[in-house]
């Protein structure tokens, strides 16, 4: 684990290296992914089956084998432990209520001369959702992607998720039933992204693709952008924590490890004004690691990509964290709300000692599909608007066009677009 202090002579160089944590070598991967996309475009289902056999260790015998059985979804739901079922319902309800507050509204404004300007907001027709299923299955990601699409009013939702050895995760199946999703396909990786972007005999072409994934999924989303819209290009998961001397090192350590256990490439960064808190947190991390079933993954992540930075004051800490722009940001200080106005860049902000990042992953309500690798400087969390688009509304009255038409004609004339100019002038009195 990297331990840095802003007082160190070499700090700037070390911090610059830290900022590269989320960079993915997409150029090398692009060659492979382009080949996959090309095969899906030309061979469709045939290529899908070949890719599933290669990457997921089973071979679909027919096109019907590509799709999850709706009866299996209901069976998985019915067999759930009642407490787990109640937990899923709690998560569903809270996520739905939160995203309903995001719904943008159409609006119209009528000027005194009768001109009407406005904006019409409509959902896309088809959304493709990618749910990871390699090292672990993520039913929570299904809820976080399906619910905002449903709230937006998307008519057709397509889900793709890998099923190694053709063994679907039962909790994921149950979550599909809870969400009422029926078009779920046992396809993963770049193949799934290509299938949803271009369509096959079984999987329809969609308008927007959302959801996290590995570097092959991220690269595929980047390459099909333009053919379809995408939510973001997300990399390995990460957490940043701002802490002062009031923080609990035992809590800080397990919060940092909550991201490290995701992936060896995940990054966990603590920035604190207290050297004592830094030292105690590092000790607690070592204590926690041996208790984790995913110790090997978490240990590699924390040792190779984890960092603790000690600053002279909180202003310096805030400046560094805004440069990092973490996916998840915990603020564990005496007065976290006082720091909120100074936080400019973060995917999700967790305020106070009783708000671990994990609560946002499952039941808080806000979306857990978040920008990574510093892209929180320009990306937002997944939300209802990712599944909607806007149309401008313009309706001029005779009086309205006569009031401003001359200005329009003059600008068109200076651009040398005579037909533009005359299409306005023929309407002027």
Going by C-alpha positions, the residue among 164, 161, 131, 167 that lies closest to residue 147 is 131
Measured distance CA(265)–CA(222) in Å, rounded: 20
Report long-range pairs for 162-165 (Cβ below 8 Å, ≥24 apart).
162/55, 162/56, 162/132, 162/133, 162/134, 162/186, 162/187, 162/188, 162/189, 162/192, 163/56, 163/58, 163/133, 163/188, 164/56, 164/57, 164/58, 164/133, 164/134, 165/56, 165/57, 165/58
- Torsion, Cα 12 16 18 19, to 10 degrees, reads 140
Distance of CA 394 to the CA centre of its chain: 34
Name the active-site residue from 328, 330, 357, 368. Answer: 328
For residue 296, what are the contacts with CB-CB under 8 A and spacing of at least 6? none
Measured distance CA(285)–CA(287) in Å, rounded: 5
Q: Is 250 among the catalytic positions?
A: no
Name the active-site residue from 327, 330, 357, 421. Answer: 327
Contact 251, 291 (CB under 8 A): no
Q: Which two tokens stand for residue 315?
A: 């202003």
For residue 400, what are the contacts with CB-CB under 8 A and spacing of at least 6? 111, 113, 114, 115
Q: Is 327 among the catalytic positions?
A: yes
For residue 143, give the 3-state DSSP assignment.
helix
Measured distance CA(165)–CA(313) in Å, rounded: 52
Angle formed at CA 195 by CA 226 and CA 50, multiple of 5 degrees: 140
Measured distance CA(184)–CA(189) in Å, rounded: 15
Q: Residue 385, class by beta-carbon neighbours within 10 Å (0-12 exposed, 13-18 middle, 19+ buried)?
A: middle
Measured distance CA(68)–CA(168) in Å, rounded: 8
Contact 159, 176 (CB under 8 A): yes
Measured distance CA(307)–CA(128) in Å, rounded: 36
- Residues with catalytic function: 327-328
């Amino acid at each position: 684990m990297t331990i840095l202090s802003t007082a160190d002579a070499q700090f700037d160089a070390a911090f610059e290296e830290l900022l590269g944590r989320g960079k993915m070598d997409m150029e090398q991967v692009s060659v492979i992914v382009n080949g996959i996309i090309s095969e899906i475009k030309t061979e469709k289902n045939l290529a899908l089956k070949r890719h599933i056999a290669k990457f997921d260790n089973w071979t679909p015998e027919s096109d019907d084998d590509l799709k999850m059985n709706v009866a299996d979804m209901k069976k998985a739901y019915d067999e759930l432990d009642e407490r787990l079922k109640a937990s899923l319902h709690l998560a569903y309800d809270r996520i739905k209520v939160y995203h309903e507050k995001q719904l943008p509204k159409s609006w119209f404004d009528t000027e005194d001369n009768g001109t009407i300007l406005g904006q019409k907001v409509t959902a896309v027709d088809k959304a493709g959702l990618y749910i990871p299923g390699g090292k672990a299955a993520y039913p929570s990601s299904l809820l976080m992607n399906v619910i905002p699409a449903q709230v937006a009013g998307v008519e057709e939702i397509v889900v793709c998720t890998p099923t190694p050895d053709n063994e679907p995760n039962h909790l994921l199946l149950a979550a599909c039933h809870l969400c009422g999703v029926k078009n779920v396909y046992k396809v993963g990786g770049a193949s799934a992204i290509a299938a949803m972007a271009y369509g096959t005999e079984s999987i329809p072409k969609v308008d927007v693709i959302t959801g996290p994934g590995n570097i092959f999924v991220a690269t595929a989303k980047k390459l099909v952008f333009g053919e379809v819209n995408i939510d973001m290009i997300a990399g390995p998961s990460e957490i940043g924590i701002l802490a002062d001397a009031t923080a609990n090192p035992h809590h800080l350590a397990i919060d940092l490890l909550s991201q490290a256990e995701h992936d060896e490439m995940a990054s966990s960064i603590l920035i604190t004004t207290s050297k004592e808190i830094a030292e105690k947190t590092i000790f607690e991390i070592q204590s926690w690691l041996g208790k984790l079933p995913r110790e090997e993954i978490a240990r590699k992540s924390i040792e190779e990509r984890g960092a603790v930075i000690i600053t002279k004051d909180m202003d310096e800490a805030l400046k560094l964290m805004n440069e990092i722009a973490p996916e998840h940001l915990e603020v564990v200080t005496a007065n976290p709300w006082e720091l909120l106005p100074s936080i400019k860049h973060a995917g999700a902000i967790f305020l106070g000692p009783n708000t671990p990042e994990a609560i946002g992953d499952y039941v808080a309500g806000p979306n857990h599909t978040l920008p990574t690798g510093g892209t929180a400087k320009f990306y937002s969390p997944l939300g209802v608007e990712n599944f909607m688009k806007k149309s401008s509304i313009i309706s001029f009255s005779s009086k309205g066009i006569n009031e401003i038409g001359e200005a329009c004609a003059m600008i068109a004339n200076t651009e040398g677009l005579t037909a533009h100019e005359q299409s306005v002038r023929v309407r002027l009195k």
